[in-house]
Amino acid sequence: MQKKMNIEKDLVEIDPAPELSLLISGRCTRVSCGQKLAPGDLIAESGCPEQGDLLAPVACEITELDSWHIVLRVLDSAAENDNQEKFIKFEGLSREEVRGKLSRMGVSLPETGKIKTLIINASREEPEIFYNEKLLKEYENTLSAGMKLAEYIYKPLETRLAVTEGFNGSVDWCSVKMVPMAYPGGLDPMVVKSVTGKEMPDDVVVLSASLLFELGRVVQSGLLQTDTIVQAGDDFFRVRVGTPVGVVLSAAGIKTGNRGRVVLGSRMRGMAAYSLQQGVEKDTQAVFYLEETPEPIAEDVSCVGCGECVRNCPAGIDPSYLSGCAEFGFYEKARDNHIASCIDCGICSYVCIARRPVLQYIRLARRELKLIDGACEQLRKEGEE
């Protein structure tokens, strides 16, 4: 049964928590423990063009730092808007300069190139996530401002806004395309197919509605955006990036137990939080708490060869074989067997009767291949110099 949610409910702002926690997520740290930072100061630098740098969301002091995460003690949040030199001005900049400036401000954008179609994906990723509808209902002007900046950067021949069938709002600032409500119809690869009729064409760029919202806020305020909007239960909250998920769940009146699980993102594709102290990331659209169930949890067991994942894979690849390749480090074999075609829907893990973490294995292989490709590219550049 389709869940109904009152997305007209007011957005609740949560006060900054005393401590914030941020994932390093493959970036290279540029700070040390005990260092004090102003809002917008660089914490970790990204080497990936599609991943922005990690910046201090508030005035803070670093209390914990390791390879995976960083804990910040909030100092004086009232001083955050005094840092005038960090105001973003785009006047007179080329689109490459704008994109570079946004990346240094922590805003991640896909690569530019010769783009025919720019798609804004505001469809529902999963039936229980109403994040995009909330943005369309309440922040139309902000999205429209973000659209103008996105079109300046990508210069597409056409721009389409993808929304889920049944959306009853009105949008007059962009051409709208309805996409199927059935999962995984709202995921980027499926949306591209719905809009263009083609599978993964090179001349199409997809931006999420949340990224467009962030661009719009940057345009409207000229400031680095240090907060985000998160759905928890039936409520929506504006929170600082890095706010512990336990604080968000508590604000939503959701009680947690000792054996349940907290998931950041969607149920099918999200990541389990390692603790209630794990911070909300900028692209975290929702936080779920899953009660303990008698069903077995995923574990590193052997594939039983039932073929359910293959029969249900919307991309037509072999998740069981690919997960095996990842499990034993045969990443190039995974590449040769079209791991790049995976749309990251998680249906393979959902239908796996052995409860293998199939999607997680595939994500591991894709990450390792990305690192390999990056290292090869670096060596190639050094060889040319």
In this prediction, residues 18-38 reach a mean pLDDT of 89
- Phi, psi (rounded to 5 degrees) for 278: -60, 135
- Beta-carbon contacts of residue 121 (< 8 Å; ≥ 6 apart): 132, 162, 186, 188, 191, 206, 207, 208, 209
pLDDT at 3: 54
With cut-offs at 50, 70 and 90, classify the pLDDT of residue 309. very high
pLDDT tier at 11, thresholds 50, 70, 90: confident
pLDDT score of 48: 67
**What is the mean pLDDT of the segment spanning 155-181?**
90
Residue 1 has pLDDT above 70, yes or no: no
Exposed e or buried b for every residue in 19-34, given b needs 16+ CB within 10 A? bbbbbbeebebebeee
- Peptide bond just before 110 cis, omega within 30 deg: no
Residue 373's pLDDT is: 84
Residues 6+ apart with CB under 8 A from 323: 303, 348, 356, 357, 358, 361, 362
Residue 274 is predicted with a pLDDT of: 87
Q: What is the pLDDT of residues 237-259, one digit of tens each?
A: 999 999 999 999 999 999 988 77
pLDDT recorded at residue 280: 93
For residue 146, pLDDT beyond 80: yes
